[in-house]
Structure 1
Amino acid sequence: MNDNKFVSERGTIEDGVIIINNGKIEDIGTYNELKDKLKDISIYDYKDKVITPSLIDCHCHLLEYAPGSLYPVTKQTYLEAGKVLLFNALLSGITALGEQICGSPICNISIEEYMKVKDEVPLKIKFSLNSITIGTSDLSNYTCLNGNEQVDKNMLSNIDIVSEMAMKNEYPGENIFINATPANLPISEVPRAGEIMFTQDELKCIVDVFHKNGKKIGVHVAGKEGIDLALECGVDVLHHAHDINDNQINLVKNNKTSIVATPLGGTHLTPNLPSDILKLVKKGIDISIATDAYLPPAAYLNLDENKLYGSEMLMFIAKPSMELLFENGFNENECLALLTYNPAKILGLENSIGKLDIGMSADFLVTDGIPGLEITKIEQILCVFVNGQKLIER
């Protein structure tokens, strides 16, 4: 595959070539370096286009919450609608996802039914098994193990429940909600959103169960009290981390904690601003940007607040932060890592996706510019390749 420019581990390569064999990158370099290897193989020539790793959204709710929020579905059509949303993600240049199973009042679908979907679609999906508290007046508690049945708050820290979640968990998503969530509801319906749900002893016990099972743990968290609690208890990944302060950022750095930023929204507090993300990157913290789709948008994004936004917004919500990073001396690859390599690490897939390098899966985009940094419209993503196969072509 020959093109004018692509973004790789080597930096930006002008007039570059990727050689693909059995779905993986066999070689990568300039045309002059690799031209002798191009005989007798099929060639795609993308001339003046840009090739980058495909995008990764490591925190979303496309299968459990979104279908019932967007479509008039029943249980019989629920996962079919979810597959439509997965295809929309693929159209948006996203080829790997971190999907949450929290337990939902909307529809009673089993963990096994959700997980089966990943064998039916051409995306790479990791599932986070969670419990959730919705900040209604009486607090509404659910776990992925209890479907659409409400549970008592003490079940959220029940060792048997936590142990089963940990054993089946595939990546550190928002495994528990330290703060009760708005869950897309207006504040009038969730007056207790943001309330802390666990004592330090309860949270430390939950973290220890995950670690004893050889699993990292991620949490939904925002605000000083919740973030302090997460860091004190050794949580591995902070999802949202809205309103994190400088002292906490230093602790995140020292603890080697990762952060998944959600500029679209997701908690009771103002979401991650570009200045917040710049500060984290300057500290050398692994930070990813994710959609938490589908959500109504934060007010500062100047979008329709009555609409739910999803995968198509990943580049849009990342652009202000990526531009600010670039203005502060970070190169194209470092900016793009927020949507590619860093979320690959969150999913535990950094050895196969997230960058263009020899031995990596041939998952990449052909575009009119660097996603997020130079382009935000999905129409500017011309081709999407997964395992060396062209799945989307505009």
Structure 2
Amino acid sequence: MSESFFVSAPGKVILFGEHSVVHGKAAIAAAVSLRSYLLVSSTPATGVPKVTLNFADVHLQHSWDIASLPWSSVTSKDPLIVPHNLEPVLTAALEPHFADFVSSPFKHAAAYAFLYLFLHLASPSSASLDITYTLRSTLPIGAGLGSSASISVAIAAGLLLQNTHITPPTPTKDRGTELKLIDAWSFIGEKCIHGTPSGVDNAVASSGGAVVFQRSLSSPTTPPAITNITTFPALPLLLTNTRVARRTAELVAGVGKLTGALPDVAGPIHEAIHGISEKATTLLLSPPSQQEFVEELSQLVRINHALLDALGVSHPALENVRRLSSEFDVGETKLTGAGGGGCAITLLKHDVQEDKLRALEERLRGEGFEMYEVTLGGSGVGVLRESGVEEAQFLGAEGRDGVEDLVGRGRAWEFWTQ
């Protein structure tokens, strides 16, 4: 690879099946066009060689002496063989290297994931270079949109590519093996951040499109069954962040309590949500015409939200978004993720009127909400090999649109595919 390049990976939304997936039912997650971007750059070291992580969006900038990192504590030496679990000896050896971030859980987790992957995918021979990883994300952090998985996938891909464990995608060669390697290492990064992630978020961020996933209740330690849907047609979506803090654990526990207390009532709701996911899967695997596809999917969006509301996980702010999107006749809306606040998605009508959409956005903005016009589905992890963009330019880009205009839209991105 050249001395500098970009990698990028998308965020995700839960399209159908949230909460019921905890009870063994199918759910569908899909990529959105909000992405994380990582600039990987290296120069000959002028002093003690260092590796630097610069995550401007969370005010994290730190450098480590490459030679002083605990290379001898790495048990898994082959980057092409991904371990199933984190290595306790390495985790303990790394603790002093991100002790400065103990008071900031997110910075601590980001530094941990980065260093853990760096030690497995780089090598002590990197100690002849100063290496910088500069990260910007257009995803809101902590909004349930898979920001950590997007970042983990970008870091894994950047490290694998820089250290020649994988090669850039080409149209003439099947890159499925390399995509699986990116996904597997990003899952390790997710374990550093979350402890016991499902693997769904990084699967979507790696492959793009959509995935169907389902847990095994009979074997809770077994990873969920994940099926990639790469035929997902790109669809326009309005994503609304209500900015109401979510209490995911409490909401999941509440649905569990309701399901246990009223199994004859809540059980059929979960079955109905499972049916929605199955119907949506059929549509996604063999999409009809765009108009018919959007209309059928919109019906499922409306019904799924109503069922989630019946389970008690909606919120007045989410209902307000839903009411206004209906009032302005732009499409059907549902909560996405845990509910109780957080984000709502509006699947826009195939013939949505621009003036109505702008009027809705103005009204939602007046309610204190944050909106993103995004594409549902779309590409997974990719590389931009020649950009001409320096770190200072990248850091100076203002907001989401500034980052997208600089390194996203219209650029010659290449994407790994199945």
Asked if TM exceeds 0.5, the reply is: no
Q: TM-score, normalised by structure 1?
A: 0.30
Structure having the larger proportion of residues in helix: 2
Q: Which has the higher contact order (CA 8 A, sep 6+)?
A: 2
